[in-house]
Structure 1
Amino acid sequence: MSEAIHSTSTKVTALEAKCYDYEAAAVDLRHGLTAGTEISKRSGGAERKLDDYENRQHRKNLRIAGFPHGAEGANAVDFLERWLPEILGLPGPIEIERAHHTLQRRPSEQGAPRAFVLKLLRYRDMTQILDAARKKGELRYGNSKIMIFPDLSPRLHQRRMTFTPLKKQLRQAGVKYGMMYTATLRVDMRSGGTKSFDSAEAASSFLLREYSEIFSSS
């Protein structure tokens, strides 16, 4: 009888030890998951900060695509400082700090030409160029279609793209708007003044009330 009791006691002790091991492992796992989540949060925060820093460094930059190879001649800055005000009908001159082709292999004669990346001296020149290009519509240099974009990081580009359907509706309705740095939609209100939105969802919700006749069928 005593041997049976001893055997049972030994088994219970072994089971208790295993339970303790399992509990300890579960605690370690929870700590590991918590640490992993914290690391993930910190990593995501660091990525956002780096992305914001990159975009702030590029906030006066533009990308211009479509010029045939060699159109700029010997000096890209002089060429663009002449061409942009002329084709866009800008009220005054612009100043470009530097301009260069994107860092990719030089295309063949049949390949798509490389885009220009240019840095303007003043931020207002950048916004003026983008506004004028949007109002002008299609831009051409000879037979080449020219496109002008902000020089954005992929993450910020995706954020701005969320406004695209809404901007199309505003254009069709003749409502004036503009995209501000970094990803803010500014809309001219018919009651006067402007209103800014940092997300497409917030803009859609508000404009559905303000311009119900435009967005009610969307």
Structure 2
Amino acid sequence: MKGRLTTAESRISDTEDITAQLSATITELETKVQSLAEKNEDLENLSRRSNVQLIGLPENAEGTDAETFLEKWLPEVHGAEHFPTPVMIERAHRIGPANSTSPAQFPRPLVIKFLNFRDKVRVTKATGIKDKVMSVNRQVRLNQMLQSRGIQYGLQFPAKLCITYGGKPITFQTSQDASPAPTGAGGN
């Protein structure tokens, strides 16, 4: 009995030592995972830094080569004086599924990734200077214009615009709902 007890105590002591080592390893790995998660989030944010959403551009206005279209179109609508060097776009694509029932009424947003951040800054500044940016008789907006005015926004399929303004959420089902109310109609 005494021998078995000594063996059991020895095994328990060894198990405690291994458990302490494993606890230290787990703590170290948790720290590394947290650090890698923070780095990953930082890299994702940096990769999105040069992105902008173009809202309201009619479907297929960009044709088959969205990057080339936008590199020409952006200086045209904002004025060439704002662009002493050409705008370089790395990638551009529509988001969300195509709306086959009414694509003309509810065009999908277009995500633009500029090759460098300076081009994005030039475009957003030029957009802020200009009162309205139009394309095919439709107003086109960049998401930064809404953010700069303290408006949180989101697009929900199929084509609902949801904004939070002054802490109050508002959802628009149609473009008529989002249009300003006529004077004297009591709209807000």
Normalised by the length of structure 2, the TM-score is: 0.51
Q: How many residues align?
A: 142
Paired letter, 1:81:
E
Residues in 1 aligned to 2:117 and 2:96: alpha-carbon distance in whole angstroms: 26
Residues in 1 aligned to 2:31 and 2:93: alpha-carbon distance in whole angstroms: 36
Counterpart in the other structure of 1:41: 31
Normalised by the length of structure 1, the TM-score is: 0.46
Q: 1:47: Cα distance to partner?
A: 3.5
Tell me, yes or no, if the aligned pair for 1:95 and 1:122 is still in contact at 8 Å: no
Counterpart in the other structure of 1:101: 93
Counterpart in the other structure of 1:153: none
Residues in 1 aligned to 2:124 and 2:11: alpha-carbon distance in whole angstroms: 64
Structure with greater helix percent: 1
Residues in 2 aligned to 1:30 and 1:41: alpha-carbon distance in whole angstroms: 17
Tell me, yes or no, if the aligned pair for 1:68 and 1:144 is still in contact at 8 Å: no
Query: Do residues 146 (structure 1) and 138 (structure 2) align?
Result: no
Identity level (%): 25
Tell me, yes or no, if the aligned pair for 1:77 and 1:98 is still in contact at 8 Å: yes
Residues in 1 aligned to 2:114 and 2:22: alpha-carbon distance in whole angstroms: 48
Say which one has the larger Rg. Answer: 1
Counterpart in the other structure of 1:65: 55
Counterpart in the other structure of 2:117: 123
User: What CA deviation, in whole Å up to 9, does each residue of 1:40-67 have, x standing for no partner?
Assistant: 2223333444444455555544332332
Mark the CA change 1:117 to 1:27 in structure 2 (over 3 Å): closer, same or farther: same
Tell me, yes or no, if the aligned pair for 1:139 and 1:147 is still in contact at 8 Å: no
**Superposed, which structure 2 residues align to 1:157-172 within 5 Å?**
none
User: What CA deviation, in whole Å up to 9, does each residue of 1:8-67 have, x standing for no partner?
Assistant: xx36x6555444433332332222222122222223333444444455555544332332
Mark the CA change 1:22 to 1:110 in structure 2 (over 3 Å): closer, same or farther: farther
Residues in 2 aligned to 1:124 and 1:45: alpha-carbon distance in whole angstroms: 29
Tell me, yes or no, if the aligned pair for 1:63 and 1:118 is still in contact at 8 Å: yes
Residues in 2 aligned to 1:74 and 1:119: alpha-carbon distance in whole angstroms: 17
* Two-structure CA RMSD over aligned residues (Å): 3.9
**Gapped runs of 5+ residues in structure 1?**
1-9, 150-163, 169-218
